[in-house]
Amino acid sequence: MNILAEIFDFFLPRICPGCGNKLTVAERTICPVCLNKIKLAREERLCREYERKFRAKKIISGFTSLYVFEEGKEFQNIIHSLKYNGRFAVGVFLGKQLGNHIANMMNEWHIDIIIPIPLHQLKKAERGYNQSFYIAKGLGSVLNIPVKQNIVKRKRFTQSQTTMNLKEREENIRDAFLIRNSKGLSGKNILLIDDVITTGATISECGRILLEAGASRIYAASTAIAD
């Protein structure tokens, strides 16, 4: 099998999305050098982020993330390869990493359903896919929890939020989602998945309509957090 893998890699070399170097047969999706360079989201940082972004709204009952997003560094290259270059395996890999990271939390959270934050149909058509789905897919495979894409729909196209502050993001995302299928939501604990969480406005708005539709508790997780 190693010989076949080496032959395959010779003709179609696999490239690390973090550094652009060729992966060895033993390396999976992202090279260990890049993984070791990515800053982990420490517990104190996560507690601080939850207090700042979620606690006051009383929508998100718990939140976690794996890495810290830093501009111009390895993780930005990695997540951009998923979002803009169709590197689906990167999303599944990150989802599995996240799943291994939060497995112990499942004893407390008791998640019933994983929902990736949906894209508007125009943006999804332009990109061809929802990057958060592949993260959720990897996560669900590790935790053995179903991933549902047909529950929440993004009904309104929203502007890019990259340069917006918290208030502007909240106004931009308000009433952007709707519940398309509420069957089976009542009393369920939901885990919302996004690629990178910045202000938390999108997560909170999506969580709000899920609670209104009868969900019991809403939790959130992402591959990375950003300032």
Structural domain spans, the chain: 1-37, 39-225
Report which of residues 169 and 184 the model is more confident about. Answer: 184
Q: Mean pLDDT throughout 138-159?
A: 91
Q: Is the dihedral of CA 103, 106, 109, 110 positive or negative?
A: positive
pLDDT at residue 6 above 90? no
pLDDT of amino acid 165: 72
Residue with tokens 């508790």: 217
pLDDT at residue 28 above 90? no
203 touches 117 (CB < 8 A) = yes
Report which of residues 115 and 166 the model is more confident about. Answer: 115
Burial of 134 (0-12, 13-18, 19+ CB in 10 A): buried
> pTM of the entire structure?
0.91
CATH, range 39-225? 3.40.50.2020
**189 Cβ partners below 8 Å, 6+ apart?**
109, 110, 111, 112, 113, 215, 216, 217, 218, 219
pLDDT (tens digit per residue) in 70-90: 999 999 999 999 999 999 999
Q: Mean pLDDT throughout 107-131?
A: 91
